[in-house]
Amino acid sequence: MQIIPPSVSKLWSLLEIRVLVLFSLGLQSILIFTGKTRKNSSSKKLSTLLWLTYLSAEWAVTVSLSVLSNNAGNSVNYSVNPDLVITAFWASFLLLHLGGPDTITAYSLEDNELWRWHALTLVTQVTTTVYVVLRCWNSTPLNFLAIPIFVAGIIKSGERIWVLRYGSSEHFRESMTHPSYRMSKKSTSYVLDMQFNVPVNDPLENADILQNAYNFFKIFKQLLADVIVNFHDIKNSRIIIKNVSSEDTFKMIEIELGLIYDVFHSKAVVLYSFVMDGFSGCFTLCCISLRCINFLSISSVSMAFMITEKHDYSRVYVIITYVLLTGAIILELYALILQLCSDWTMLWLSKRNLLHKGIASFLLTKKKRWCNTMQQYNIISISLQDTPAKRSSIMKVSSFLWKCIQKVLCIHGLLEKHRHRYSKKFLPVHLKQVIVDQLQHKLESAMYDGKILCSYRGDWVFQNAKSLDNISEGDRDTIKGAIEVEFDESILLWHIATNLCFYSNDQEQDLDDCKDYRDTSQLLSNYMLYLLAFCPLMLPNGIGHIRLHDTRAEAIEFFYNFNEDNAGRTLGCKEEIACKKLLNVINIPPTREQQEKKKLLLPSAHKLAHSLLGIEIKWEFICYVWVEMLGYAASHCQWNQHAQQLTQGGELLTHVWLLMAHLGITEQFKFQAEKG
């Protein structure tokens, strides 16, 4: 029994290559128009769309060339079949699509490591394209027009392979440790003070921010190759950060991370070789020449096709060819516009004093370089929503069935976590100032060096907090104990305690200064719990996911047992009421499971909250503890995890990591006495 009717099979055989070629062009359009936005967007929908498009793009080229090869091989009298000749012309466009857009060459860092596989794929596709073109060769003008497109496709695909190879860990590390790079860096390391623009009590101009960010990029990209940064480089970056505002500091970090993203995930190495150090003039001239050849090839073929006799070809095939030519030109022009408006071009213009202040202000200040959001995850909130409620039997059955479907599809855990997360737009100015101030205060102490400061996760704040002198010894021990436990446990303890203090009846909350520290503490508390739940690889090794699950179950049982009417309903789903009830409880009864495990995080957090409430300026203390915990997590996260997050809109944790590296608070720091 034939499932698919012969008429359907015949129709698909007729439309197959048309659909595949247009589908490939559509995928390229999606990649180039949305690929540049993923470094400033944390949207999961956009990330999923790009992931599917990126994987499908190469597949579409491979399948299309296979169909063309099969059609060419099955045709006996192909020289008199004009439609087969024009479809063979499309093979060169597919090779052009294989090169991909300039905005996204690698979806993740792992794609750079697979550059050999991509090179083998290119060889296979080039061989197939040559076979299709030669098999359908009958010396018509269309056969000759395929040659320039074929050359442009090889150039574009070759560029992608070269960029993927450069972004691989092995070759990127080689470029950082190559003698020519080390000698050029050594010759300029003592004159970097002249290259940086250092104002005194005056905000930096946009062009100065861009120039300083690029100078930082030249120095600290060594961190991405596990190369040690020397003292003179750290000294210059410390001078800059000390003399600029926290806003300008984070702007420079944003630009620098954008440059890092471009190197690993786009064709920046090829497109902007005239800016990047370490590339010879011949290489730059070669790259520019190849770009010109590409554009001229596509443009000349488009004009030639317009005047070529096309009566022998099917009208549908001619229209599709026009679509391919028009699409190729539009994509090239759009790529050129993006290149002219990029930070790299602005940097080249500013180096030659050709960048007008008005243009710099418009292009550099209006550009969004990262998502500028902090994801939030609150254990009190999710525990209240997950507390068993009083529902009808129909609702219980439907809920049970829906959970069963989710578990069968293996999406229960994913949906369960993501439905509770939310984001806070725009990074507060106060948070930036607190981060920079704390790092600067640490460096002012001569008895600490950068490597030692990496190991603190609240200890330094605890040791230097004068406000703790007025509390009891027991409260001091409680606070110290909450800092010294394992890091993931410390995050949970301080997160719950911060929530309890946030909703406590304290008149200190009405003061403006305390309000800033209070809001910043809550923001960081929810952000760190988000990292624990969604980005555990960015935190030090531990059993955070187990502790989070157990603590969540503990909180759900507590709120179920201590509700207002003992009827199985939640506390109005209001965090304030729930936190006040938890704070006012004298003894929290442990669950049966906890009695067996003897892990009581909720009572420990309850005790910590009461100890913190006894501090005179508690919110400033809590805020600085969270900032130090943020710095500890940032400095202990591997660089490849930071680089990978740049493709998801970026994380505050990555910005703090790079800022700490600029100040020498990193393991990759070589101290040597300054030569007089």
The per-residue pLDDT for range 440-478, each reduced to its tens digit, is 998 887 555 667 888 899 999 999 888 888 889 999 999
Q: How far is the first Cα of the chain from the last one, in angstroms, to the nearest whole number?
A: 90
pLDDT tens for residues 56-65?
999 999 999 9
Q: Where are the domains of the chain?
A: 6-168+280-335, 375-425+471-617
Provide mean pLDDT across the span 360-387: 81
The pTM of this model reads 0.88
Query: 667 in helix, strand or coil?
Result: coil
262: tokens are 């471009």
> What would the mean pLDDT of 418-427 be, rounded to a whole number?
77
Quote the Cα angle for 69-74-77, to 5°: 115
Six token digits for residue 653: 């944790």
Q: What is the pLDDT of residue 494?
A: 97
Q: Is 64 helix (H, G, I), strand (E, B) or coil?
A: helix
Q: Tell me, what's the pLDDT at 305?
A: 92
Q: Can you read off the two tokens belonging to residue 361?
A: 């202000």
- pLDDT value of residue 146: 93
- The answer to whether residue 662 scores a pLDDT higher than 80 is yes
Please name the helix (run of DSSP H) or strand (run of DSSP E) that holds residue 17, with its range, or none: helix 6-34
Reduce the DSSP state of residue 425 to 3 states and report it: strand
Q: Which of 348, 197, 329 is nearest to 259 (CA)?
A: 348
Return the minimum-mean-pLDDT range out of 302-316, 374-388, 501-515, 621-635: 501-515
Say yes or no to pLDDT of 191 above 70. Answer: no
- Tell me the torsion sign for CA atoms 374, 378, 382, 385: negative
Mean pLDDT lowest among 108-112, 230-234, 408-412, 670-674 = 670-674
- Of the pLDDT bands very low, low, confident and very high (cuts 50, 70, 90), residue 165 is very high
CB-CB contact of 497 with 605 (8 Å) = yes
- The H-assigned helical ranges of 35-79 are 44-74
Q: What angle do CA 216, 221, 223 make, to 5 degrees?
A: 115
Condensed to tens digits (0 to 9), the pLDDT of residues 12-71 reads: 777 889 999 999 999 999 999 888 888 888 888 899 999 999 999 999 999 999 999 988
Crossing angle of helices 246-265 and 141-167, in 10° steps, is 130
Split at pLDDT 50, 70, 90, the class of 356 is low
Give SS3 for 669: strand
* Residue-averaged pLDDT of the chain: 83
Q: How many CB atoms lie within 10 A of CB 398?
A: 12
Cα–Cα distances in angstroms (integers) from residue 644 to residues 111, 421, 439, 602, in the given order: 11, 21, 25, 34
pLDDT band at 419 (very low <50, low <70, confident <90, very high): low
